[in-house]
Every structure is written in C-alpha cells, then in structure tokens.
C-alpha cells in the first residue's frame, strides 16, 4: 500500500550523513552509518534535473514547492533549447531557488553525467523513457537520491537494470521515488486500501482503460538527422517511448498491479494495431490501440485497453469487480456489500510525491519504490510484446527477454534502431509474423 506506511528501512541518519552516504557507500561498497547528531550548517538540498521538458520542468517546480530548502542547481537536456526554456521558466517562478548558472546547464547525451558531477544531492529523471535505466544506474552509483518519472524502461533488459539499481539503492540507503503519482494521491491511496483490506472481497477482474485522442507531434526540421528527428518525436518510436501502452497506460497498469499486491501475472495475451496512425513517416512505428488480458495465479484477470484515436469514445478509469462488490478507483468509491466513498483531504499528487521524497531524505527513512515501479513498467513491456507478436507470453519469458531496443551509440549522427525504408516507411510490428525475441 502507500509507500509511507510500509517499512523502507530502519537506519536513522543525520541529513549530512545521509547526503554523504551515497558517496561513501559508492567508495566503500557499504551502508551509510547511522548517526543521531544534527547536521550543522546549510540545510539546502541541491537538485539537478535531467530532461527539461514539460514534466521535468513541472517536477522541478514540485521539488521547489515541496520543501523550502531546495534549490535547482543543475539542468541537462539532450537539446540545448530545452535547457534554456526550463531555466527561464524556473527562474521566473522562483528567482532565488530556480536560477541555474550557465556553467551548470548541460546539453547533449552526456549531460546527465555532468549534472551528477556538479555536486547535486537529488536528481529528477524526466527524460524520454528509453534513458531511464542508464540514468538511474548512474545516479545510484554516484550516491544520489532520485525522483524518476514513469515508465522506468522500454524493454526487459532495461527493467532488469532498474531492479538491480533499486536493490543497490536500498543497500546504500538512497531514496527512489517514482513518477507513479497515483500511489501518492490521498483519495486513491484510501480507495486502494479499502480494496486491499477486502471491501470488495476477492478481486476477480480489473478493467483498466486509457482511451483518449491524439497527442503532439513536433515535426521535422530541415537539418534534422534521423536521430534528431526521432529524439524530438520520441513518442512515436517504440525504442524511445516503449509504445504508448507503456508510456501512458502504464499508470492504469500500475493501479491494477497495486490491487494484486504488486505480484506479477502468470502470462498475458492481447491484440493491437494501427488503424488511424497510417500516415508515414509521421507516426513512427507505434500502435494506436492495444487490448491486453493479464492472467494472475489466482484466476484474477486484468483487462487493459488503451487507444489514441481522435473522435472516438474516451474513458480513463479503473474499475475492479470482486466477490463482494466493485471499486471505482478514480471515483474513490466502493459499492456492494459495503458502500464507501472517500471524504478525506485532497492534495496535489505531483507535489505530494516530492513532499514524501524530501521528508524521507531529511528523516533518514528512505523510500524505495523500486519493486512496484519495475513490475508496473514490465506489465507495459509485456503488453507490447504480446500485441506485437500476437502470442501469449508468460511473465518469466518476457522478463528474460534479451531484446534490447537501443542504438549502437548515442550521437546525433548515429543510426537509431528503427530506420525508414526507401519510401520513408518505418517497420511496424505484425501480429503472427513479428517474432518474440
């Protein structure tokens, strides 16, 4: 259940000890030492942002609002223009705490490393999902506390890397708070707790929908290389976004998984395709609809539907049916043998995540969202695998997959792993033909 009600570790360390813990642990391969003395001097937590887009800039604002003694001290983005726009937005909003000097603004694929080297205490990871495993590992190796946006990876090797990094963070006493923001939403937490406490009996079925219209497209610029074009329009390439069932619908999969106690399903099967994303090369290689059935060991099933098609029925909801009633998670209500409706306080979940993170850093009681964020991400990856191949695939098969969606190297003139043919058409997965790798 809610991260802050479960034991994440019993080491109580002073703030100063805690901030240094990562570096010490990285050097010595050991746990941070527990100390009770209060840290002297400056109480400011220095925050670096990697990925200065819409969500990253929002996360930086959340970090500033959540704790009065935070300061954004370094920024990195693949594109220089994005660094400048985030800096301008933060500086305007918080002239003292959001003003990052030129020499701590970094552009390019290696900018994250420069943020880590700049003396930050906390890193916000909000790039395109593809890079999360690499960035999280680097953060944990460098002993940084992390807020990392969902999804955590786009393929099974990436999920396994996330699991390893989460375990290393646990050993080092570092915080990992995930961007699965509904886990930090008071009304959703309370409703889910009702489900976990048995208010609807045994959960038999979870219906997870994310049916929406279309999203942005950033176009092609005259001097774009193929890598530049795909990086700018990352949403439409499976190697960068994971496809939209992994990028967006993962919020819903995460809620279903939460109700299952974050244990993985046994297997999944499904169907999906491209009906309206036919214009090439505009829409890259992702699908525009997915329907996946996840089968759990106790017979429960999660039916997960997502669609991005303009003009069609829209619905974003999580409805669970159990032996004693029903739960509407986003409606915050239970009906059946027990009728219940949430009437507690509200709150901005995006900000509450950061409140939890900074509180945990300062108290020395770390939060580690690693397990559930890896499982939920893998649900998205598994869903894409079954839809692309048309096969039923077990969890174990999927998690063991060696399919790595990555280029040979990260450079603006390097080839991305997905390339257009002579007519400018990207290869799109075909169920029944595309193999499971």
Ligand X SMILES: NC(=O)c1ccc[n+]([C@@H]2O[C@H](COP(=O)([O-])OP(=O)(O)OC[C@H]3O[C@@H](n4cnc5c(N)ncnc54)[C@H](O)[C@@H]3O)[C@@H](O)[C@H]2O)c1
Contact pick of 18, 112, 229, 305 for ligand X (by CB under 6 A): 112
Work out whether 82 is an interface residue with ligand X (CB under 6 A). Answer: yes
In which element (H, E) is residue 77 found? strand 70-77
Which tokens is 222 given? 């005259």
Nearest Cα to 52, choosing from 44, 60, 64?
A: 60
Alpha carbon separation from 350 to 55, 177, 436 (Å, rounded): 10, 11, 36
Residue 21 CB, nearest approach to ligand X (Å): 26
| The one segment of 61-69, 121-129, 311-319, 370-378 that binds ligand X by CB under 6 A | 121-129
| Residue 35 to residue 52: CA distance in whole angstroms | 36
Residue 236 CB, nearest approach to ligand X (Å): 12
Site string for ligand X, 229-268 (x = CB under 6 A): ------------------x---------------------
Residue 6 CB, nearest approach to ligand X (Å): 21
Work out whether 340 is an interface residue with ligand X (CB under 6 A). Answer: no
| Residue 112 to residue 188: CA distance in whole angstroms | 33
Nearest Cα to 218, choosing from 195, 235, 240?
A: 235
CB burial of residue 246 (10 Å; 0-12, 13-18, 19+) = buried
Residue 329 CB, nearest approach to ligand X (Å): 15
Q: Which CB sits closer to ligand X, 216 or 313?
A: 216
| Residue 16 to residue 361: CA distance in whole angstroms | 10
Site string for ligand X, 41-70 (x = CB under 6 A): ---------xxxxxxx--------------
Residue 50 CB, nearest approach to ligand X (Å): 5
Work out whether 129 is an interface residue with ligand X (CB under 6 A). Answer: yes
Say if residues 76 and 378 touch (Cβ distance below 8 Å): no
| Residue 62 to residue 422: CA distance in whole angstroms | 45
User: Which residue is at the shortest CB distance from ligand X?
Assistant: 53
Residue 41 CB, nearest approach to ligand X (Å): 32
| Residue 103 to residue 225: CA distance in whole angstroms | 27
Q: Which CB sits closer to ligand X, 13 or 161?
A: 161
The residues in 373-432 that bind ligand X, with binding defined as CB under 6 A, are none
The residues in 163-202 that bind ligand X, with binding defined as CB under 6 A, are 179, 181
Site string for ligand X, 149-168 (x = CB under 6 A): xx------------------
Any residues with CB less than 8 A from the CB of 134 and at least 6 apart, and which?
112, 161
- Helix, strand, coil shares of the chain, percent, nearest 5, are 40, 20, 45
Instruction: Give bridge partners of residue 77 from the DSSP assignment.
Output: 107
Q: Which CB sits closer to ligand X, 57 or 389?
A: 57
Residue 248 CB, nearest approach to ligand X (Å): 7
Contact pick of 45, 63, 75, 76 for ligand X (by CB under 6 A): 76
| Residue 75 to residue 86: CA distance in whole angstroms | 8
| Residues engaged in binding ligand X (CB under 6 A) | 50-56, 76-79, 82, 109, 111-112, 126-129, 131, 149-150, 179, 181, 247
């Amino acid at each position: 259940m809610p991260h802050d009600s479960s034991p994440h570790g019993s080491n109580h360390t002073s703030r100063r000890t805690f901030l240094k813990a990562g570096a010490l642990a990285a050097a010595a391969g050991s746990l941070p030492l527990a100390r009770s003395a209060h840290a002297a001097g400056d109480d400011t937590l220095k925050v670096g942002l990697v990925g200065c887009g819409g969500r990253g800039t929002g996360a930086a604002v959340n970090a500033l609002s959540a704790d009065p003694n935070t300061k954004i001290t370094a920024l990195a983005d693949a594109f220089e223009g994005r660094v400048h726009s985030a800096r301008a937005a933060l500086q305007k909003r918080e002239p003292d705490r959001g003003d990052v000097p030129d020499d701590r603004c970094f552009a390019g694929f290696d900018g994250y490393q420069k943020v880590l080297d700049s003396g930050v205490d906390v890193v916000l990871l909000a790039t395109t999902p593809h890079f999360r495993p690499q960035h999280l590992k680097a953060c944990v190796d460098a002993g940084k506390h992390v807020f990392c946006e969902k999804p955590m990876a786009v393929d099974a090797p990436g999920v396994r890397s996330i699991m390893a990094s989460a375990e290393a963070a646990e050993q080092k006493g570092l915080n990992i708070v995930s961007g699965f923001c509904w886990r930090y939403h008071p009304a959703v937490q309370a409703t889910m707790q009702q489900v976990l406490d048995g208010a609807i009996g045994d959960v038999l079925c979870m219906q997870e929908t994310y049916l929406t219209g279309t999203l942005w497209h950033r176009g092609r610029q005259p001097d774009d290389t193929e890598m530049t074009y795909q990086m700018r329009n990352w949403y439409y390439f499976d190697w960068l976004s994971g496809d939209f069932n992994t990028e967006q619908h993962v919020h819903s999969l995460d809620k279903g998984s939460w109700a299952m106690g974050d244990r993985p399903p046994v297997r999944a099967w499904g169907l999906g395709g491209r009906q309206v994303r036919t214009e090439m090369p505009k829409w890259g290689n992702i699908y525009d609809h997915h329907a996946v059935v996840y089968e759990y060991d106790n017979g429960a099933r999660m039916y997960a539907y997502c669609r991005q098609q303009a003009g069609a029925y829209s619905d974003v909801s999580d409805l669970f049916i159990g032996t004693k009633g029903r739960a509407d998670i986003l409606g915050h209500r239970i009906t059946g043998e027990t009728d219940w409706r949430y009437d507690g306080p509200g709150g901005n979940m995006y900000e509450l995540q950061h409140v939890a993170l900074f509180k945990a850093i300062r108290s020395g009681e770390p939060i580690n969202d690693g397990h559930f964020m890896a499982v939920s991400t893998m649900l998205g990856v598994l869903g894409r695998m079954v839809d692309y191949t048309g096969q039923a695939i077990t969890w174990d098969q999927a998690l063991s997959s060696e399919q790595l969606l990555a280029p040979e190297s990260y450079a603006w003139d390097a080839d991305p792993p997905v390339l257009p043919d002579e007519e400018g058409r990207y290869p799109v997965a075909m169920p029944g033909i595309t193999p499971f790798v």
